[in-house]
Amino acid sequence: MVLYVTYNDAPSGIYNSQVIDVLNCWQRQFAIPTQLIAFVSLRRYKEYKQYIKAELPNALVLPMFPSVQLWKWNALTLFFVTLYYQPKTIVGRSVYATNIALIMRAIFSKIKIVYDGRGAIAAEVAEYNVGNGSIDIKAIETMERKAIIESNYKLAVSNALVNYWQTEYNYTATNHVVVPCTVDDTFMKTELTTNSNTTINVVYAGSLAGWQSLQLLHKLLINILQNNNSTVITFLSDEHELITQLQMQFPKRITQHKVPHKTVCNALMQADYGILFREISITNSVASPVKFGEYLACGLQIIASANIGDCSEQVLENNLGIIITDIDAPIYLSKPTAAQRTTNRTFALAQYNKNTPAVLTYYKTLLTL
């Protein structure tokens, strides 16, 4: 039995593709019982439980103790869960879940702990005020170091993240694998659509969190719109004042609408370019944005900055789009060819598909510790 523990993760498209879809893959590919243990906000417990169980009916959704300062109290709940399931391995998504799991190993000494590292957590707190001041940076640094150094195995989303562990936390072991944020199976099954119109559609899909660098994105899009008269921009996101400003400045060339997770694939298929343009920060330098693989799986060319995890280098090495190093220089876009769209999708199917032999081998390693 393997327990996969999430802590204070709100259900979302990312949760679907990076938690639920992964667990479905494990259950489908391996004869190893796997159980999701999701600690969610007490205030929104009923709503989140309904959402998660609709996607994964056997999930165990539990209310967490209020406020992150009380994270250790959740170990009491996990103790009884562990006692009931008797797991061989506990996988913790992020720092808090892994530190709670490490308390279980101190009690049940034979349990193996896997840290599912999604990014540079302490850096996110410092750079983007994650937690709105409720998280002490020194404390989160200590927890991150403990998760990296004391876990039995690590799953990292990028080679850049492993390099960060080595530099920042003196991580010298090799008990880790790198699996980027893979795409939902929906993207694997959907065939490329023919995009024959002459308009160039640039799409931005995702959250509007601080690390998305919206001020820089705004400047980039003005550059593109001013130098490409046949280009339109589509935001698959929440509303934002900067989007409204663009709509006022470029009437009829900017659209914004948020679509359900299950229809994102079809929406992206209508576009030509996907944007991943972010400021220089530690958070961005180790990231593996989910949208990177999703854009490519839909045949899109990438417009990216030069500092995004392993992704920017992949764009350059595999001719997957363009890397912007000077945001003030005019940017000219051409309509991607059918061959380019096919090449990009082929790359995604090989590199960002959780069902490839290489990724399945990595998963089996951590599930059979």
pLDDT grade, residue 189 (50/70/90)?
confident
Distance from chain centroid for Cα 103: 26
Which residues does 68 contact at the CB level (< 8 Å), separation at least 6? Answer: 8, 96, 131, 134, 135
Ranges 170-174, 204-208, 246-250, 360-364: which has the least confidence: 204-208
Mean pLDDT confidence for 240-269: 91
Specify the pLDDT at position 369. 87
Residue 209 has pLDDT above 80, yes or no: no
Distance CA 21, CA 56 (A): 9
Specify the pLDDT at position 100. 98
Mean pLDDT confidence for 83-100: 97
Specify the pLDDT at position 133. 65
Q: Is-same-fold flag (2-179+354-367; 186-351)? A: yes
More confident position, 114 or 366: 114
SS3 138: helix
Residue by residue, DSSP assigns 238-305 as ---HHHHHHHHHSTTSEEE----GGGHHHHHTT-SEEEE---S-HHHHT---HHHHHHHHTTPEEEEE
Domain ranges of the chain: 2-179+354-367, 186-351
Closest CA to 68 of 95, 101, 89: 95
Quick check: pTM over 0.85?
yes
Share of residues in the chain with pLDDT > 70 (%): 99
Specify the pLDDT at position 98. 98
Ranges 91-105, 197-211, 251-265, 341-355: which has the least confidence: 197-211
- CATH superfamily membership of 2-179+354-367: Glycogen Phosphorylase B; (3.40.50.2000)
Residue 131 has pLDDT above 90, yes or no: no
pLDDT grade, residue 236 (50/70/90)?
very high
- CATH superfamily membership of 186-351: Glycogen Phosphorylase B; (3.40.50.2000)
Closest CA to 21 of 185, 216, 238, 209: 185
What are the distances in angstroms from CA 312 to CA 247, 318, 348, 356? 29, 10, 14, 22
Q: How many CB atoms lie within 10 A of CB 326?
A: 8
Task: Determine how β-strand 34-40 pairs with β-strand 2-7.
Answer: parallel
Ranges 6-20, 80-94, 207-221: which has the least confidence: 207-221
What are the distances in angstroms from CA 279 to CA 149, 200, 283? 29, 25, 10
Cβ proximity of 91 and 5 under 8 Å: yes
Mean pLDDT confidence for 117-128: 93
